A and B are shown apart, each in its own frame.
Chain A
Amino acid sequence: MALDLRQAPRPPSQEVSGHALVARGVAKSFRGKKTIRAVDGVSLHVRRGEIYGLLGANGSGKSTLIRMFSTLLSPDSGDVRVFGHDIAAEELAVKRLINRVSVEASFFKKLSAMENLIYAGRLYGQTGSEARARARTILRRLGIADDRFDEPLEKLSRGMQQKVAIARAFLTAPMLLLLDEPTTGLDIRSKREVQTFVRDLRDGHDATILLTTHDLDEAERLSDRIGILHGGRLVAEGSADELAAQHGGADLEAVFMTVTGRRLEDADTPEDRAR
């Protein structure tokens, strides 16, 4: 079944340019007993219609960056523009253009998938019946059986909850979709289904996707371009082939090791995780 995102209200297109997202010199520190510089002067751009993969170990700054792009966290310095809108000065305009799927499904646990999705649709200006119709289409497309629509979310498996989270993001037809480790914790089958859906979304619709992952295979499989984050800094950027050519690695794993000095799985140090 085809998923027609164009049924949903779209933002005015006058701001749409070649870049969906432009970040310049973005930095963020957290003060505690010890100040942690989570993101350290990151500059990147995501072209309209591309899937940009941010690859990094736990604590490399990926989620902090995504949270800043989602308007949930204010950068200490630097600026971020989404389709030309400044995230600080034009927050509501940016919010209309984005949506996000995080590593946790994050729902009202006692409400059903349908109730959660209708609530989400209403927050983006849809009526209850519009949201219900669109939610039904998307849930079916994601392989969720009709008889599960009205069950409390807490009774669905982790994989199904994550699919509902993806449905929530698609429901609002975002121009820029921020996927923060959307497949972490999923079984292989659910992971593949989500990855296929992400690709279909990009190929069949006018969506730009920024994906964070610490899965090398996922980054390579899904991304047109990949940025490698390490210690809060963007240490390499390009397509998988470009990265291999630039850094002399046979594959992405070798590139990661060259540019960070560590293997991806070894890079998850306690200090990194504190970021």
Chain B
Amino acid sequence: MVLSDQPKLAYAFIAREVALMKRYWLWEIVWIVYGAVTSLSVAYIGLAAPAISGGQVDEAAVRRFVLYLLVGTIAWRFLGLVFENIAEIIAWERWEGTIEYTFMAPVPRLTHLAGMCGGTIVRALVISLTTLGAVALFVPVDLSRANTLSALGLLAVGTVAFIGLGIGSACFPLLWTEKGLQMAYIVQAVVLLVSGVYYPTTVLPGALQALSVISPATYVIEGMRRALLDGADLASLWPFVWPALLIGALSIPVGLRLFVWAERFAKRTGRLKRSG
């Protein structure tokens, strides 16, 4: 097969992911409801800021605080889904029992992973946009000053970086069949903690602040806040764009290299099978 065949091969994975979404529709609704409820809960914490703090907080500040929190929770919903879906590539197929057939197929690994990333983005978009729609029904969102294009641009850059992190973390279940996925979830949890999803990273202790520097979400979410709260354009967001771009430019080749190495290791040690 030649280069021109690769999009068709990659599409196999996108179509499969869409078919799985349809068949698991009830679970997808669960994730949407869960996401919406989480986002709403966070938004209500913002709305309750005056009552919780016991002080005077003016209405504009409350609106800004709510949007600040919502940007974090919705962006994290999207990026977290991208990370999770890709990190679960191996574990999911092992659970379904299809891993041997996918890895036996004459599809270059790069094409396989590109297809899975395509399917992942489709799923993350559907879930995140539905969650956003559901949240907007309950919480007034002030986007009068927002620069939506800049925010979407940053999210796109962040997606690339999270794809790299996800591919790197997908190696864990290849290396440790029983506990690999748990390790990937721990990586995700740490990224959530250090990336300033719900608060500025400046409130973190020194060691965690150091970790926040290498998390792409730190730059993406802070940049998105400036775009959506203050209307910042992409040029002025460059200090947030370039680190996320750099992390993406490094994490994807490193993640791919790790994945290929982990696949070879799994083939040597007999781990490339359904039951681990």
| Chain A contacts to B: CB under 8 angstroms | 30-31, 64, 67, 70-74, 92, 95-96, 98-100, 102, 104-111, 115, 118-120, 122-125, 127-128, 152, 168
Contact = CB atoms under 8 A, between A and B. Distances in A.
A175 to B, nearest CB: 12
Interface residues of B, number: 32
Contacts of B20: 108, 110-111
B88 to A, nearest CB: 14
A162 B261 CA distance: 33
B101 A125 contact: no
B8 A125 contact: yes
Contacts of B264: 74
A111 B19 contact: yes
Contacts of B101: 100, 106, 120, 168
A92 B108 contact: yes
A72 B15 contact: no
A106 B272 contact: no
A17 to B, nearest CB: 20
22 contacts: A31-B269, A64-B270, A70-B100, A70-B104, A71-B267, A72-B104, A73-B272, A74-B268, A96-B1, A100-B104, A104-B274, A105-B97, A106-B274, A108-B16, A110-B23, A111-B20, A119-B16, A120-B101, A120-B105, A123-B12, A125-B1, A128-B15
B98 A123 contact: no
B100 A108 contact: no
Interface of B: 1, 5, 8-9, 11-12, 15-16, 19-20, 23-24, 96-98, 100-108, 264, 267-270, 272-274
| Main DSSP-derived SS at the B contact region | helix
B107 A109 contact: no
Contacts of B11: 122
Contacts, number: 97
Contacts of A110: 20, 23-24
B98 A106 contact: yes
Given A73-B272, A122-B11, A128-B15, A111 B100 contact: no
Contact of B103 (A30, A72, A122): A72
A95 B106 contact: yes
A125 B1 CA distance: 8
A125 B104 CA distance: 14
Contacts of A99: 104
A152 B23 contact: yes
Contacts of B107: 123
A67 B273 contact: yes
A95 B12 CA distance: 17
B104 A71 contact: yes
A115 B19 contact: yes
Contact of B106 (A73, A92, A105, A168): A92
Contacts of A127: 8
Nearest to B16: A119
A105 to B, nearest CB: 8
Nearest to A118: B15
B270 A30 contact: yes
A203 to B, nearest CB: 26
Q: Which 4 A-B pairs have the closest CB atoms?
A: A122-B12, A123-B105, A95-B106, A110-B23
Nearest to A38: B270
